[in-house]
Amino acid sequence: MLTPQHFKVNEVWIVIRINEDFLFVKDEPYDMYVLLDAASTFVFGFVFSKVVDEAPYEKDVEELFKKAWEAKRQWAKKLIVADKSIANDVFIRQAEKNGLEFDAVPVPDLEPIIGPLKESFEKDFIGKTT
């Protein structure tokens, strides 16, 4: 299991699908992907992806990476994607384009890092309570 203490700030970025259930916008199902720093858990931003499209748009992911670079003024060394999926392929391509290594890590192994964010999202954005 990975924790923020395993990393230095800006060493590793993580991309994770933050929602458990689909988000509906005008009756269309979406997923939300968040890009964050593994050490600080600072969230750089997010992109939406129509569930039927299966992956975020390349342009949206490029803009998200640009936003992360502007926040840190350097690239991370590695991108961690939560498991391998078609949706994550667009993030992996963007990581490679910017010289980041990448690794796929099972979601449960990222729980200490992403758990509080997912819980906050469910409570504050979705309105669920545990």
The beta strands (E) that lie in 5-90 are given as: 12-17, 23-25, 28-37, 43-50, 78-82
**Domain segments of the chain: what residues?**
4-126
**Amino acid identity at 45:** G
In this prediction, residue 122 carries a pLDDT of 77
d(CA 88, CA 125): 23
What is the per-residue pLDDT across 40-96, written as a single tens digit (0 to 9) for each? 999 999 999 888 767 899 999 999 999 999 999 999 999 999 876 778 899 999 999
Average pLDDT, the chain: 90
In this prediction, residue 55 carries a pLDDT of 85
d(CA 99, CA 82): 19
CB count in 10 Å sphere of residue 80: 26
**Amino acid identity at 41:** T
Structure token digits, residue 81:
């994607």
The beta strands (E) that lie in the chain are given as: 12-17, 23-25, 28-37, 43-50, 78-82, 101-105
Q: Which CATH architecture has domain 4-126?
A: 2-Layer Sandwich (3.30)
